Every structure is written in structure tokens, then in C-alpha cells.
Structure 1
């Protein structure tokens, strides 16, 4: 049963979010008015537009960061002022589903649970095939994740306030540019022996529209590189989300597929090999392909599968590079000193 005694403070970091607030705030203000949450805190990160005034006008409590410091610093500021037992982080480009508080309280009622996070819903705003692929891929991994996690996701996730303060909040010194500060926070929570749950029913609609250009930049510089370095410096690859053993096998198949295609000009007679490897990639990713086809048809699923092989290759290549960097190029000592 949900623990109805737990009070929830919604925390939304916002920067130049004036155009998003009319869509993302009304559901949260509705929860406030119905008593499902205790407060809605919008933290304006020194926006040059009317984000702060509009949020206040719509009924939110507004805080303002002293300097523009990114979403991690904004969330840390909110945690200092929040009244609730639980901090529910909702990004300013996410429309939270109205039953979110129920799922948060249900999860928090379980023994030793400190945090819970959910996923995007299956109807993202961006309708180009690539934007849908990116948002649905995120949902795909979170919907199929192990229930017990060692990471955290702040797009739509909640943490007990006392635990958040105990572990020091988001590390905005290491991650001065927003990237994986939520994942790293999850590691520190897990190290205390407390539980982090993945709740597939805790959902929100993502309004971000992805392009290949902004996706590559985000994937490489804000996700893959810092996350690989974090895993290598702590405990290696984990079996969470998109770093599971099955995902590693699929990445290996994608790498072999690419090598076989690159070998064709030098070995024309080897064409059955890439065809066979592509068939193997299709079988290994059959559940992913079926899911994508269910949201956009066969052609959409085929394009997603092709790009997904490229995604596997550059993600795996970055991890290998970080291993070389850590063990052979002197980064091991630097990371140890930083953690110390």
C-alpha cells in the first residue's frame, strides 16, 4: 500500500523554459491543488526570459539560483528549501503523468527504498523518425530494466530528502556541464546499502526534439564518455539499463557487422558474412525491432535498427578508449585522487 504519510515536493529546474511551462506545469499544479503533492518548486537558473515570472503566475513556488549552474545546482538549491519528505525531480521538458505521486509512495513504502525513477511514455513530442527513435529507445531500456538499480534518473525520479542531503546531493563540482550527475548520485545512494527501484508506471511525456547532431553530441560528450569513466573508476560494467550483458553482446555483433562491411572492398567474395551478421543483429535485437515497429511500422523499425548498430559501435568504442585512458594513459591515479 502507498505510504500516504509521505509528503512530496516537486522540483523542476528550469532555464529558458518559458515556452515549456504552459504544458509541463498544469498537471503538477493540479496535483498541488488536489493535495497529492505538498509543493511545486520551480528553480529558475538565471533565465533571460520570463520563466520565473510565468512559473509564479501559474502557481508554483519559485526559487532562483545565484548564478547559472545547471540543473544539478538548481536541484541542490531546491532540496535545501523543500518541505516534503520526498523530492520528486521532473525536468522542465517532461509532462508528468498525474498518477506519479501514487507510484512514488507505493515504491517508498517498500523496505529500505531511498529512490525510484520511471521512464518516458510512448508518445514523445518530436515526430521525426530519429527523435521518436531516441525517446522510445530511452523508454525501451527503462521499461525492461531490472527492478533494482544502482543508478538514478532525474528526468522523472524521486529521492527521500534526508538521503539526498546525507549523500551530498548532485556533484556539480565534478560535473560542471550537465551530464551524468544523476547516474553518479545513484551510485552513492547504492553504496549506502539503500535500494533504488525502477518503476515503469512512473511516466512522463518528453517534449525534446532530437536531431542526429544534438544526439551525437549528447551521447558522446554528456553520456558515454563520463559514464564509461565513472564505471571504470568504480566497479566496471554493471548489469543496469543499457549496459547489461545482453546489450554488450549486441554491441559486439554490431562491431563485427561494421568490420565485415568495411572489408568488402578488399574481399568482395565475403558478402555473405555481413548479410549473415545483419541477420544475427536482427535476431539479437528482435524485441527492440518489434517494439519500434509497433510504434511506427516496419520502415521505421528498419531505420531504427540500422542506426542502432551505429550507436552500439560508437558507444563500445568510447568504452574501450576509456579503458585505455584509465589503465595506460595515467587517468587511474587522477580519478583516485578525485574520489579521495
Structure 2
């Protein structure tokens, strides 16, 4: 099978050169490399040309990765489309692995991989974000209900049949998750292969973490869940994550009540214990990769993540009910139902 590698880029900088260098050193080289330049003002287009890529210019203003990937796919000739983000370095065997999975298993329509556990930026926030992503994908269901375009491959005919990525997502968001749900709902199988790995070169700070997690993930993901009346039980939405969110709110409630009833502070201990038990494997992994102090910082950031993500879900779910956009509110997944489902799944 022929591989068409598609890389959308907007002001890729030095990371983009590292991305293309890694692709050029793959044991299985692309049959064609397509770079979609999303109105970059730096030298990204020139760098892409240096590596022999076919460069597609998107115009004067950025349109986002969803539309950029679709434009690249429209010109692709390969039977397999491989989407790679401009800030990742593929491991040398990644492209060969994508081809192998889709060649040997014709029943699978799409495959995606994982970040590795050696991100170059070692600040607590960057290390936490990349290691959390790695851990989640390493432990996710292999027969997945989502897709990931950071390093993912899909059969071109299936991609075209479904209409590609949803272009209403004008910024990096959940366009790949939404495509994965459409794949599953259309009867196609998506496979998570944790052995296919890439190195994430992005440098995170606390504010970029919040902006991404809340406005580019939690808000659109919650809206997608509410519009479909279906809650996936995989990756960041697995039962452990749901119960962990409840534990965080239980601890916050106990701390708040403790200012009036000091005995309530003791009530936080069961929630803390359950939270640590549920996430012990992740925090032990943090300790292995970054030491004890990083594990503490990672646990704090993780608890904060559950706090703001579940808050977004609760607010949007409540607003959805109040607005009356759905005639039958009972068809929506409620927080109580999430708890009941989680108890059965753990």
C-alpha cells in the first residue's frame, strides 16, 4: 500500500524541521509527503520544500488543522493517509507500523498511536501533560471509540466516505475525536496501538494547559457528548476518571465545610484515599520519570484537571437542560447515571 503523509503546519518553527527530519529517517519512507501551510508567516513552506514535500498553501488567514488536513487528503494518492502533527517526531518504525496494521488487518479502518515517555521539555507542566497523554494511551482500550490525528492513519476511501474532519472546528480541538466517533457509529473499527510512538516537542505552560484543556477540549467535547447523548467509556472518560472527578469535588466540599465545621475536614480523607488508589499507577509512573517532587506536582495538576473538566461538563449539561434544546431531557446522560455506570464498570 502507498502511504500519503499529511502534515498541517502554522508557523512550525524549529519543531517543524525536527518533524520532517524524523520522517525522512523513517525505516519506511512516505510515498508522498504533503505539507499544508496554514497561512504561516515564518519559513515553514520553504522548510517543507527542502524536504521534498508537496506544499499546499491555505491562503491569507489560518483555517485550522481540520480543514488543512482535509485539503491535503483531497490531493493524496496513497491508499493510507497518515496524519502527523507538525510538533512531533515520529519514531523510525512508526510509518512501517501503520502500514503493517492496516495491511494485515483489513477489518480495521484507522489506527493511532501515542506520545512517548521522553518529552524534551522538562518543566513540570510540560512533563505532566505529555506523560499523562502517554499513560492514557498506553492503558486505553485497543478497540477504540476515538481517533487521534497527532499520529494516526486511516484508509483513504473510508476517510473520503465520511467526509473527512469536521471543518467547523476552526482551531486545534476535538476534530479527531469527533471523526473517531463517526467512524465507530458508521460501523468501522479504530485501533489504538500504543507501540506506535512519537515524541511531542511542544512546550507547555500553566496558562496554555488551561486554555487547551478547557476551551479546546472540555467545552467542545462536552457539547459533542450532549449532542449525541452518548458518553464514551474510554481514555479520559473511563470509569476511573469519572469517579476521580467525584472524589475531587468531595474533597473540595469537605475543605469548604471545614471552615464552619472543622470535623468536616476529616471527611476529605476517604475521598483522598480513593483518589490516590484510583490513580496510584499514574503517580508512580510520574515518580519513575520525574522524581518524587514531580509526582506531587503532577498529582496536584491532575486533581485540578478533574476539577475544571467536570465543572465544565456540569455547567454545560445544566445549561443544556435549562435551554430546552432537547425535547426529551431524560435521553441525556446525567451525572447520577455516570456514577451508577462507573460503579458497574470499575
Which TM-score applies when normalising by structure 1? 0.92
Deviation at 1:69, TM superposition (A): 0.9
Q: CA deviation at 1:25?
A: 0.6
Q: What is the distance in 2 between the residues matched to 1:35 and 1:93?
A: 20
What is the CA RMSD across the aligned residues, in angstroms? 1.5
Is residue 128 from structure 1 mapped to residue 98 from structure 2 by the alignment? no
Q: Are 1:225 and 2:219 an aligned pair?
A: yes
C-alpha distance in structure 1 between counterparts of 2:85 and 2:93, whole Å:
17
Specify the alignment match of 1:336 in structure 2: none
Name the CA distance, whole Å, in 2 between partners of 1:331 and 1:126.
44
5+ residue gaps, structure 2, are 328-346
Correspondence 1:96 to 2:90: yes
Q: Secondary structure at the match of 1:271?
A: helix
- Counterparts of 1:187 and 1:280, CA distance in 2: 31
- 1:29–1:60 contact (8 Å) kept in structure 2: no
Counterpart secondary structure, 2:326:
helix
In the alignment, what sits opposite 1:49?
A: 42
1:125: how far off? 2.1
2:321 to 317, 320, 327: 327
Equivalent residue number for residue 167 of structure 1: 162
Report if the CA contact (8 A) 1:113-1:195 is conserved.
yes
- Give TM-score scaled by structure 2 length: 0.90
Contact 1:150 1:240 survives alignment (8 Å): yes
Deviates more, 1:162-171 or 1:51-60: 51-60
Q: How far does residue 103 in structure 1 lie from its aligned partner after superposition?
A: 1.8
Structure 1: which 5+ runs fail to align?
1-5, 334-340
Quote the offset at 1:89 in angstroms: 0.6
Contact 2:36 / 2:69 at 8 angstroms: preserved in 1?
yes
Tell me the equivalent position of 2:133: 138
SS at match of 2:291: helix
Q: 1:37 to 1:58 in 2, by over 3 A?
A: closer
Structure 1: how far apart are the matches of 2:318 and 2:152? 34
Match of 1:12 among 3, 7, 12: 7
Partner of 2:57: 64
Deviations 1:160-211 (A, max 9, x none): 1111111001111x22233111111111111221100000011110011111
| Rounded Cα–Cα distance in structure 2 between residues aligned with 1:39 and 1:85 | 11
Look up the match of 1:3: none
For the residue of structure 2 that corresponds to 1:220, the secondary structure is helix
Q: In 1, distance between residues paired with 2:326 and 2:209?
A: 29
Whether the aligned pair in 1 keeps the contact of 2:126 and 2:205 (CA below 8 Å) is yes
The DSSP-based 3-state class of the residue aligned with 1:126 is coil
Cα offset for 1:290?
0.8
Contact 2:64 2:169 in 1 (8 A): no
Counterpart check, 1:77 vs 2:98: no
